[in-house]
Amino acid sequence: MRRKVFMIVFFIFTATTPVKQAEAAIPWAQIIKEAVKRVVRAFDLLVQRRQNRQIRLQNAQKALENTMAKLKLDEIEDWVKKQRDLYEQYYQELKKVKAVVSYYFRVKAIADKQIQILRAYQSAWALFRNDAHFTAIERGHMQTVYQGMLAETARSVELLELVVKSFTTQMSDVKRLEIIDQAADRTDQILDELNAFSHENKLLSLSRAKNEVDAKVVKELYGIP
Protein backbone atom coordinates (compact mmCIF):
# COMPACT_ATOMS: atom_id res chain seq x y z
CA MET A 1 0.00 0.00 0.00
CA ARG A 2 2.74 2.44 0.97
CA ARG A 3 4.59 1.62 -2.29
CA LYS A 4 1.56 2.88 -4.19
CA VAL A 5 1.66 6.04 -2.14
CA PHE A 6 5.33 6.52 -3.03
CA MET A 7 4.52 6.10 -6.72
CA ILE A 8 1.58 8.50 -6.53
CA VAL A 9 3.74 11.07 -4.79
CA PHE A 10 6.42 10.58 -7.42
CA PHE A 11 4.13 11.24 -10.37
CA ILE A 12 2.18 14.07 -8.70
CA PHE A 13 5.40 15.87 -7.79
CA THR A 14 6.75 15.28 -11.27
CA ALA A 15 3.76 17.04 -12.74
CA THR A 16 3.39 19.92 -10.29
CA THR A 17 6.47 21.17 -8.42
CA PRO A 18 10.00 22.44 -9.15
CA VAL A 19 13.00 20.34 -8.17
CA LYS A 20 15.53 21.25 -5.48
CA GLN A 21 15.08 18.19 -3.28
CA ALA A 22 18.10 16.27 -4.54
CA GLU A 23 20.37 19.22 -3.84
CA ALA A 24 18.96 19.79 -0.34
CA ALA A 25 18.52 16.13 0.57
CA ILE A 26 19.38 15.04 4.07
CA PRO A 27 22.42 12.68 3.97
CA TRP A 28 20.36 9.68 5.09
CA ALA A 29 22.88 7.22 3.68
CA GLN A 30 25.61 8.31 6.08
CA ILE A 31 23.15 8.64 8.97
CA ILE A 32 21.89 5.09 8.48
CA LYS A 33 25.38 3.65 8.07
CA GLU A 34 26.67 5.28 11.26
CA ALA A 35 23.54 4.39 13.24
CA VAL A 36 23.69 0.73 12.23
CA LYS A 37 27.37 0.63 13.21
CA ARG A 38 26.47 2.06 16.63
CA VAL A 39 23.75 -0.53 17.17
CA VAL A 40 25.93 -3.50 16.25
CA ARG A 41 28.91 -2.19 18.24
CA ALA A 42 26.72 -1.55 21.31
CA PHE A 43 25.28 -5.05 21.13
CA ASP A 44 28.75 -6.57 20.77
CA LEU A 45 29.84 -4.76 23.95
CA LEU A 46 26.65 -5.77 25.73
CA VAL A 47 27.18 -9.45 24.94
CA GLN A 48 30.84 -9.21 25.95
CA ARG A 49 30.00 -7.61 29.31
CA ARG A 50 27.35 -10.21 30.07
CA GLN A 51 29.71 -13.05 29.20
CA ASN A 52 32.50 -11.54 31.31
CA ARG A 53 30.17 -11.22 34.30
CA GLN A 54 29.09 -14.83 33.80
CA ILE A 55 32.75 -15.96 33.81
CA ARG A 56 33.47 -13.98 37.00
CA LEU A 57 30.52 -15.60 38.77
CA GLN A 58 31.61 -19.03 37.53
CA ASN A 59 35.13 -18.45 38.88
CA ALA A 60 33.74 -17.27 42.21
CA GLN A 61 31.65 -20.42 42.46
CA LYS A 62 34.71 -22.59 41.81
CA ALA A 63 36.62 -20.70 44.51
CA LEU A 64 33.85 -21.43 46.98
CA GLU A 65 33.86 -25.09 46.06
CA ASN A 66 37.62 -25.29 46.57
CA THR A 67 37.29 -24.06 50.17
CA MET A 68 34.67 -26.68 51.03
CA ALA A 69 37.25 -29.14 52.39
CA LYS A 70 38.64 -26.56 54.77
CA LEU A 71 35.32 -25.77 56.43
CA LYS A 72 34.29 -26.95 59.89
CA LEU A 73 30.86 -28.40 60.45
CA ASP A 74 29.46 -25.23 61.99
CA GLU A 75 30.56 -23.30 58.90
CA ILE A 76 28.86 -25.63 56.44
CA GLU A 77 25.46 -23.96 56.73
CA ASP A 78 26.89 -20.54 55.96
CA TRP A 79 28.81 -21.97 53.00
CA VAL A 80 25.69 -23.63 51.62
CA LYS A 81 23.81 -20.35 51.79
CA LYS A 82 26.60 -18.50 49.96
CA GLN A 83 26.78 -21.29 47.40
CA ARG A 84 23.03 -21.17 46.82
CA ASP A 85 23.01 -17.36 46.46
CA LEU A 86 25.96 -17.42 44.10
CA TYR A 87 24.45 -20.20 42.00
CA GLU A 88 21.21 -18.22 41.74
CA GLN A 89 23.15 -15.18 40.53
CA TYR A 90 25.04 -17.32 38.05
CA TYR A 91 21.84 -18.93 36.79
CA GLN A 92 20.12 -15.57 36.36
CA GLU A 93 23.13 -14.14 34.58
CA LEU A 94 23.25 -17.17 32.29
CA LYS A 95 19.62 -16.55 31.35
CA LYS A 96 20.45 -12.91 30.60
CA VAL A 97 23.41 -13.89 28.43
CA LYS A 98 21.27 -16.31 26.42
CA ALA A 99 18.56 -13.67 26.04
CA VAL A 100 21.02 -10.99 24.91
CA VAL A 101 22.66 -13.36 22.42
CA SER A 102 19.28 -14.33 20.96
CA TYR A 103 18.35 -10.65 20.67
CA TYR A 104 21.73 -9.94 19.13
CA PHE A 105 21.22 -12.30 16.20
CA ARG A 106 17.77 -10.88 15.48
CA VAL A 107 18.99 -7.29 15.69
CA LYS A 108 22.05 -8.10 13.57
CA ALA A 109 19.82 -9.64 10.87
CA ILE A 110 17.65 -6.51 10.80
CA ALA A 111 20.73 -4.25 10.73
CA ASP A 112 22.16 -6.23 7.81
CA LYS A 113 18.89 -5.75 5.91
CA GLN A 114 18.98 -2.01 6.61
CA ILE A 115 22.43 -1.86 5.06
CA GLN A 116 20.99 -3.85 2.15
CA ILE A 117 18.37 -1.11 1.69
CA LEU A 118 21.13 1.49 1.66
CA ARG A 119 23.17 -0.39 -0.94
CA ALA A 120 20.11 -1.08 -3.11
CA TYR A 121 19.31 2.63 -3.11
CA GLN A 122 22.89 3.65 -3.91
CA SER A 123 23.12 1.11 -6.73
CA ALA A 124 19.81 2.13 -8.29
CA TRP A 125 20.32 5.85 -7.91
CA ALA A 126 23.82 5.70 -9.43
CA LEU A 127 22.13 4.48 -12.63
CA PHE A 128 18.92 6.54 -12.60
CA ARG A 129 20.65 9.85 -11.98
CA ASN A 130 22.45 9.54 -15.33
CA ASP A 131 19.60 7.96 -17.30
CA ALA A 132 18.67 10.29 -20.17
CA HIS A 133 15.21 8.69 -20.40
CA PHE A 134 14.22 10.69 -17.30
CA THR A 135 13.93 14.46 -17.12
CA ALA A 136 15.73 16.45 -14.45
CA ILE A 137 12.40 17.02 -12.68
CA GLU A 138 11.62 13.30 -12.72
CA ARG A 139 15.04 12.43 -11.34
CA GLY A 140 14.66 15.03 -8.62
CA HIS A 141 11.35 13.66 -7.47
CA MET A 142 12.58 10.11 -7.82
CA GLN A 143 15.28 11.10 -5.36
CA THR A 144 12.59 12.57 -3.09
CA VAL A 145 10.82 9.21 -2.96
CA TYR A 146 14.07 7.41 -2.19
CA GLN A 147 14.88 9.95 0.51
CA GLY A 148 11.50 9.23 2.08
CA MET A 149 12.28 5.52 2.15
CA LEU A 150 15.70 6.17 3.68
CA ALA A 151 14.12 8.39 6.33
CA GLU A 152 11.80 5.50 7.21
CA THR A 153 14.82 3.21 7.38
CA ALA A 154 16.56 5.62 9.76
CA ARG A 155 13.51 5.50 12.01
CA SER A 156 13.63 1.71 12.05
CA VAL A 157 17.31 1.92 13.08
CA GLU A 158 16.21 4.15 15.96
CA LEU A 159 14.00 1.30 17.15
CA LEU A 160 17.07 -0.96 17.31
CA GLU A 161 18.92 1.69 19.31
CA LEU A 162 15.97 1.73 21.69
CA VAL A 163 16.35 -2.04 22.13
CA VAL A 164 20.02 -1.63 23.04
CA LYS A 165 19.18 1.04 25.62
CA SER A 166 16.38 -1.13 27.02
CA PHE A 167 18.92 -3.42 28.71
CA THR A 168 19.78 -0.62 31.14
CA THR A 169 16.11 0.05 31.96
CA GLN A 170 13.20 -1.95 33.34
CA MET A 171 11.72 -2.75 29.94
CA SER A 172 10.04 -6.14 29.80
CA ASP A 173 11.00 -8.87 27.36
CA VAL A 174 7.54 -8.66 25.83
CA LYS A 175 7.97 -4.95 25.05
CA ARG A 176 11.51 -5.49 23.82
CA LEU A 177 10.37 -8.21 21.41
CA GLU A 178 7.51 -6.01 20.28
CA ILE A 179 9.98 -3.27 19.30
CA ILE A 180 12.23 -5.75 17.49
CA ASP A 181 9.26 -7.15 15.56
CA GLN A 182 8.19 -3.64 14.63
CA ALA A 183 11.68 -2.79 13.35
CA ALA A 184 11.84 -6.06 11.39
CA ASP A 185 8.43 -5.49 9.77
CA ARG A 186 9.25 -1.91 8.81
CA THR A 187 12.62 -2.88 7.39
CA ASP A 188 11.16 -5.73 5.30
CA GLN A 189 8.44 -3.45 3.96
CA ILE A 190 10.86 -0.67 3.03
CA LEU A 191 13.18 -3.10 1.22
CA ASP A 192 10.26 -4.53 -0.76
CA GLU A 193 8.99 -1.05 -1.63
CA LEU A 194 12.41 0.20 -2.67
CA ASN A 195 13.06 -2.80 -4.92
CA ALA A 196 9.58 -2.49 -6.46
CA PHE A 197 9.98 1.25 -7.04
CA SER A 198 13.39 0.75 -8.65
CA HIS A 199 12.02 -2.02 -10.86
CA GLU A 200 9.16 0.18 -12.05
CA ASN A 201 11.62 2.96 -12.86
CA LYS A 202 13.71 0.53 -14.87
CA LEU A 203 10.67 -0.56 -16.86
CA LEU A 204 9.70 3.09 -17.38
CA SER A 205 13.15 3.80 -18.78
CA LEU A 206 12.84 0.79 -21.09
CA SER A 207 9.43 1.93 -22.30
CA ARG A 208 11.01 5.22 -23.41
CA ALA A 209 13.73 3.58 -25.48
CA LYS A 210 13.88 5.17 -28.94
CA ASN A 211 14.78 2.03 -30.85
CA GLU A 212 15.91 -1.58 -30.49
CA VAL A 213 19.53 -0.60 -29.93
CA ASP A 214 18.53 1.81 -27.20
CA ALA A 215 16.29 -0.82 -25.63
CA LYS A 216 19.13 -3.34 -25.64
CA VAL A 217 21.40 -0.84 -23.85
CA VAL A 218 18.74 -0.21 -21.18
CA LYS A 219 18.18 -3.94 -20.63
CA GLU A 220 21.90 -4.55 -20.18
CA LEU A 221 22.26 -1.52 -17.90
CA TYR A 222 19.47 -2.62 -15.57
CA GLY A 223 19.75 -6.39 -15.96
CA ILE A 224 16.29 -6.68 -17.52
CA PRO A 225 15.79 -10.03 -19.29
Mean pLDDT over each residue of the chain, to the nearest integer: 79
Mean pLDDT for the stretch of residues 181-203:
95
Q: Are 35 and 161 in contact (CB under 8 A)?
A: yes
Which candidate, 131, 121, 109, places its Cα nearest to that of 152? 121
Angle at 111 between CA 106 and CA 54, to 5 degrees: 50
DSSP summary character for residue 182: H
Please count the other Cβ atoms lying within 10 Å of the Cβ belonging to residue 71.
13
Tell me which residue range forms the domain holding 58: 2-222
CA atoms of 133 and 214, how far apart (whole Å): 10
Distance CA 99, CA 192 (A): 30
In this prediction, residue 185 carries a pLDDT of: 96
Identify the pLDDT of residue 30: 83
C-alpha angle 151-9-148 in degrees, rounded to nearest 5: 5
- pLDDT band for 71, please (50, 70, 90 cuts): low
Distance CA 143, CA 173 (A): 39
Q: Any residues with CB less than 8 A from the CB of 74 and at least 6 apart, and which?
A: none
Q: What is the pLDDT of residues 110-155, one digit of tens each?
A: 999 999 999 999 999 999 999 999 999 999 989 999 999 999 999 9
Q: What is the total count of domains within the chain?
A: 1
b/e map 86-102, b = 16+ CB within 10 Å: beeebeebeeebeebee
Q: Is the pLDDT of residue 177 over 50?
A: yes
Alpha-carbon 57 to chain mean position: 33
pLDDT, tens digit (0-9, with 9 covering 90-100), for 10-53: 443 344 444 444 434 568 788 888 888 888 888 788 778 777 77
